[in-house]
Amino acid sequence: MLQRMTLTPNKPPIRTPCVQVCFVDPKAQLCVGCFRTMEELGRWTRYSDDERAAIMAALPGREAAYQAARKSRQD
């Protein structure tokens, strides 16, 4: 008798905050497109889903701090 093979569903692609504006501010050590650090950029595909989620949650705060610091330098 033939058995039906159950296929495991493909894992969804790794979610990334990349906006394809890759420029690292040497002073801030952050990509000003996605606000990840150099380490995070390099290790992104090796992080667990939970690690990536934690980084994603931190990005809006990093962006706000970066923009505030940039604005204060311009004043």
The tens digit of pLDDT for each residue in 9-32 reads: 676 777 899 999 889 999 999 999
Residue closest to 61 by CA, chosen among 17, 15, 14: 17
Runs of H (alpha helix) within 7-48: 38-43
Annotate 24-54 with b (16+ C-beta within 10 A) or e (fewer): eeeeeebbbebbbbeebeeebeeeeeeebee
pLDDT band at 8 (very low <50, low <70, confident <90, very high): low
pLDDT band at 73 (very low <50, low <70, confident <90, very high): confident
* Whole-number average pLDDT of the chain: 88
Cβ atoms within 10 Å of 11's Cβ, excluding its own: 7
Residue keyed to tokens 């990093």: 62
| pLDDT > 60? residue 56 | yes
Global model pTM greater than 0.85: no
